[in-house]
């Protein structure tokens, strides 16, 4: 018998295709009918065994995939926790350096400094979208769902345009290199 399912299926199909020849051989007394049925039963049993083994492999792979999904979720939660802790510690460092008025600090392990940055904050997106649409400023919106484009609105605000619901806020961002 064959070792692979596709070979067993080929053997079974071969017997089915030659069934008329086997029936003729049985009727002519050249072949025992029980031999044909035993062969078919053997192939069918082997096919069932192979199919069952393949199902077990599939179930094992599905179990492994589920375990991997769970591990991904666990690691994502852990990463989120570590990220929050990192943000808290960085905020603490920033706060303490600000109390001392230190803008630059070089240590053995790091160079710490602050850089200025600007961030456009949209306090009322609906108002900003309405204004952009009413004033022909679709370039300030992202499509398909109209939402304010903070970078485009920031540029417009910097050029002196007044946009309701939008202001530029100056931040100090901690840098560790």
127-147 tens-digit pLDDT:
999 999 999 999 999 878 888
What does the pLDDT read at residue 25? Answer: 86
Q: Which residues of 18-53 are buried (b: 16+ CB within 10 A; e: fewer)?
A: eeeebeebeeeeeeeeeebeeebeebeebbeebeee
2: helix, strand or coil: coil
Q: Which residues pair with 122 in a beta bridge?
A: 166
Structure tokens at 48: 């069932």
- CA end-to-end span of the chain: 67
What does the pLDDT read at residue 145? Answer: 80
**Per-residue confidence band for 29, with pLDDT thresholds at 50, 70 and 90:** confident
C-alpha span between 157 and 137 (Å, rounded): 13
C-alpha 44, offset from chain centre: 42
What does the pLDDT read at residue 26? Answer: 86
**Average pLDDT, whole number, for the chain?**
92
154: helix, strand or coil: helix
**Per-residue confidence band for 13, with pLDDT thresholds at 50, 70 and 90:** very high
**DSSP character string of 132-148:** HHHTT-GGGEETTTTEE
Structure tokens at 104: 């630059």
**Per-residue confidence band for 177, with pLDDT thresholds at 50, 70 and 90:** low
31-59 tens-digit pLDDT:
888 888 898 999 999 999 998 899 999 99
156-176 tens-digit pLDDT:
999 999 999 999 999 988 776
């Amino acid at each position: 018998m064959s070792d692979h399912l596709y070979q067993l299926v080929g053997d079974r199909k071969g017997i089915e295709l030659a069934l008329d020849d086997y029936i003729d051989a049985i009727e002519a007394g050249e072949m025992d009918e029980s031999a044909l049925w035993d062969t078919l039963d053997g192939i069918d049993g082997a096919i069932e065994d192979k199919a069952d083994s393949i199902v077990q492999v599939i179930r094992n792979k599905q179990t492994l995939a589920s375990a991997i999904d769970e591990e991904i979720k666990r690691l994502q939660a852990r990463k989120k926790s570590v990220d929050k802790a990192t943000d808290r510690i960085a905020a603490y460092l920033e706060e303490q350096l600000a109390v001392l008025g230190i803008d630059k600090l070089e240590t053995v392990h790091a160079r710490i400094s602050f850089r200025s940055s600007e961030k456009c904050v949209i306090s009322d997106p609906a108002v900003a979208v309405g204004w952009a649409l009413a004033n022909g400023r679709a370039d300030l919106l992202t499509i398909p769902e109209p939402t304010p484009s903070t970078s485009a609105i920031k540029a417009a605000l910097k050029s002196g345009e007044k946009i309701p619901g939008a202001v530029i806020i100056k931040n100090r961002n901690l840098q560790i290199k």
